Amino acid sequence: MKRLRILLSLVLFGSTSLSLYAADAASLQKEILWKTTGQQEALFVPADVLQKSIGAAPFAAQDKAYLAGRLEAAQSGTNCAPWITSHGWSSRTAPPRTLTQIMAESRSMFTAKVVAVVTGWSISHLSPVTMVWISPTERVRDADGIIAKRELFAFAIEHATLEIDGRQLCSADKAFEIPAIGQRLLVDAVQTVGDGRLLLVAHYFPVKGEEVRALPFGDVIPFQPVSLDRAVAAAKQAVRQ
């Protein structure tokens, strides 16, 4: 009977978690990220908000004018010539690194669950982005104490299509993989910007089961799936050497 109660509790907990993810995903479709905690000028505005009224969007005047100009020049219909970006290449001049080296050198490395995936306009990128909202689940390294401060962060992938009033703007990231809600990620973050919720992310890797999978980042040496525990242990060993 005790075992039955435990199993039932696990089932109910799982159902509750799924419903919480669904609730968060719905509310975050309208969540604005701000340049400062004063919440006067936006860094990112979701498509749901922009489609109601660009004029009412909380962008700075020059940011709003730039977006309006891009939309005016955009083609109508479904044909959208993307701005090609290269998220997979960093500004590093050093040779590509192994996963172990990246984990050993990272100041903020953690696993997280994807809570929401939201399309919108980013002032930082001057293009449409997919904003991935994540909830940290395990800290691998948090040298600057960033991850301990919040339960919810977001990071941008510059791969998205934004349609407003029948006109499309889009961006295409060479290394993109848009995570799914509920998916687990290993995240290599640099710092927070704006109101503290937006992370600058150098790399993110899918974690399937207990294995870390590679993505085609230009500054990462391709690797075969490796267990998360083994990857963490190898990074700790590299730090000690």
Would you state the pLDDT for residue 7?
Answer: 34
Would you state the pLDDT for residue 6?
Answer: 34
Whole-model pTM: value is: 0.83
Q: Which residues pair with 179 in a beta bridge?
A: none
Would you state the pLDDT for residue 175?
Answer: 56
pLDDT, tens only, 101-155: 999 999 999 999 999 999 999 998 888 999 999 999 999 999 999 998 899 999 9
Would you state the pLDDT for residue 10?
Answer: 33
Which tokens go with 90? Answer: 């960093």
Would you state the pLDDT for residue 90?
Answer: 44
Sheet holding 160-164, edge to edge: 83-85, 167-173, 160-164
Would you state the pLDDT for residue 129?
Answer: 93
Q: What is the pLDDT along the chain (241 residues), one digit of tens a residue?
A: 444 343 333 333 343 344 445 557 889 999 999 998 888 899 999 999 998 888 888 999 999 898 888 888 876 655 565 554 444 444 445 689 999 999 999 999 999 999 999 999 999 888 899 999 999 999 999 999 999 889 999 999 988 988 888 888 888 766 568 999 999 999 999 889 899 999 999 999 999 999 999 998 888 999 999 999 999 999 988 888 7
| Burial class of residue 143 (count of CB atoms within 10 Å of its CB; 0-12, 13-18, 19+) | exposed
Buried-state track 5-44, b at ≥16 Cβ within 10 A, e below 16: eeeeeeeeeeeeeeeebeebbeebbebbbbbeeeeebbbb
Q: Which of 37, 62, 59 is nearest to 46 (CA)?
A: 59
Q: DSSP character for 220?
A: B
Judge contact between 234 and 105, C-beta under 8 A: no
Domain boundaries along the sequence of the chain = 2-240
Name 187's Cβ contacts closer than 8 Å, sequence gap at least 6. 108, 109, 110, 111, 112, 134, 155, 199, 201, 203, 204
Q: Which CATH architecture has domain 2-240?
A: Beta Barrel (2.40)
Q: For residues 82 and 233, give the distance between their C-alpha atoms in angstroms, rounded to a whole number.
A: 41
